[in-house]
Copies of this chain bind each other. A is one copy, B any other.
Amino acid sequence: MNTRQRQPQAAVPGAGDYLIASKKCELMNLQYFLQMGQLVQCISNLVHSLQRERGASNVLLGSGGCKFHHQRQQIVAESDRLRREFEQALTAIHQQMTVHPVSSRLLNQIASALHGLADLAELRGAVDRQTISAHDATESYSSRIHRLIAVVFEAADTAVDPGIAGLLVALVHLMNGKELCGQERAVGSAGFSSGRVDSALSRRMVHLVEAQERCFEVFASFADEDSRALWQQVRSHSREAEIGRLRGLGCSSGRVRQLDPQLADRWFAVMTERMDELKRVEDALEGCFHARCIERYTEARHSLSHQETLVASLDQQGGARQPVLILCESGDEATGQPGDAWASDGVGQRFGRSIFDLVQQQSRRLQAMSDELQAAKEALEDRKIQEKAVLLLMEHRRIDNDEAHRLLRKLAMNQGKKLPEVARALLAMADVLG
């Protein structure tokens, strides 16, 4: 019996090999996220440039082609350069990403983002020829930007290391907040330039301000200390007070108000400054992400080589065990008593204990990581649930995105509950009500 058992064991990997494989698996995943960090940085840069391009296009269209003509061309060239960088980063990670068996959602989101970029030339042509309204151009750019940010969301969703997942959650919320800020700039610009703010426009601004705040809250709860400190600096800058005043003019609801169209330039300038500052926070966060990936990768590498040494030394002890075993077995045949010395020599047990300790340790570590990951996953899940609830409301009540968001907020306020909770309840009800 023992003889039969030992042979396959020599041929197939044992407990120690699978422990090492488990560690290697973690290492591989960290390596993947190191490269993913580059892709995310490229997306962040490209999004920022597209936001600038959207702003410049808006001003160009709003001024009947007079303003920002030259600046816009420079920004377009910059967007193209950053787009090529994004595509290069994609190529660099392509192989790793396509053998990752759980990234179908990520890959499809990349397809969607690339598709958005493929007909950018059409959109730009329409802006050049002024055959598109500022509103439609804004929508067009926003949808492309949204698809790029969604790639970061999916990347965050595939992370298994809690530290890495947390920073990606912070980043995706910061990117979303900044994008809402960009939309607020566009909406405000349109209002200020026209010299009048109606209630629909002011409602939209209120929504964009509130949605931004919620994104920044999630960002702050997952970001590293340095990025959070930088974010506090942005918040306490005197520019924010001016933005607050201008927002007050734009957001005061109810009737139509007449405004000084000169405010439009000032609004555009301060909001652009704000977005540039937010980009600096984003860069700091990405720097921290990169550093953390390297740190975790180095740790995991050390831990792996340490374990490899341990397992190898235990294997040698295991190897030394073999002759003892054979001795027992030959004695065995003679006496008919199988493997008497087996348990008493203790080597087997000592060997077993140590490997098992390592396996248990790895098991506890993986469990702790998975517990810690929970918070990051929940933040992503909350976001998904809210978006679904908003879509549901839009369809059922035939209202637009803003109104749906407002309705959801109102429900939460009335019930004294948090937004994700209400969103979840709403979706559950929809399942029941059909």
Chain A residues at the B interface, C-beta cutoff of 8 Å = 1-2, 4-5, 8-9, 11-19, 21-26, 28-29, 32, 76-77, 80, 83-84, 87-88, 90-91, 94, 97-105, 107-112, 114-115, 118-122, 124-126, 128-129, 158, 160, 337-340, 342-343, 348-349, 352, 355-356, 359-360, 362-363, 366, 370
Contacts and interface: CB of A to CB of B under 8 A. Distances in A.
B338 A5 contact: no
A305 B342 CA distance: 58
B352 A119 contact: yes
B77 A1 contact: yes
A79 to B, nearest CB: 10
Contacts of A366: 104-105, 108
A80 B125 contact: no
3 nearest A-B residue pairs (beta carbon): A18-B111, A22-B107, A15-B115
Given A15-B118, A112-B15, A101 B5 contact: no
A338 B32 contact: no
B91 A12 contact: yes
Contact of A363 (B91, B112, B122): B112
Contact of A19 (B24, B99, B103, B111): B111
Copies of this chain per assembly: 2
Contacts of A115: 15, 352, 355-356, 359
Contact of A101 (B29, B91, B355): B29
A160 B106 CA distance: 14
Contacts of A342: 121-122, 125
A81 to B, nearest CB: 9
Nearest to A126: B343
12 contacts: A2-B121, A5-B80, A5-B120, A5-B121, A9-B118, A25-B101, A28-B99, A32-B101, A111-B362, A112-B356, A121-B339, A122-B343
A279 B174 CA distance: 53
A98 B12 contact: no
A90 B15 CA distance: 12
B352 A19 contact: no
Given A100-B101, A101-B28, A355-B115, A338 B125 contact: yes
A384 to B, nearest CB: 9
Find the residue from A22, A126, A340, A356 having the highest chain B CB count within 10 A: A22
A123 to B, nearest CB: 9
A90 B11 CA distance: 11
A365 to B, nearest CB: 9
A128 to B, nearest CB: 6
Contacts of A12: 87-88, 90-91
Nearest to A96: B101
Contacts of A23: 104
A377 to B, nearest CB: 11
A182 B13 CA distance: 30
Contacts of A77: 1
A387 B1 CA distance: 36
B87 A8 contact: yes
A258 to B, nearest CB: 37
Given A13-B94, A118-B352, 17 more contacts: A1-B77, A1-B80, A8-B84, A8-B88, A21-B107, A21-B111, A22-B104, A25-B98, A99-B99, A102-B158, A104-B366, A105-B370, A111-B359, A111-B362, A122-B339, A125-B343, A129-B337
Nearest to A150: B363
Given A32-B101, A100-B25, A101-B32, A109 B14 contact: no
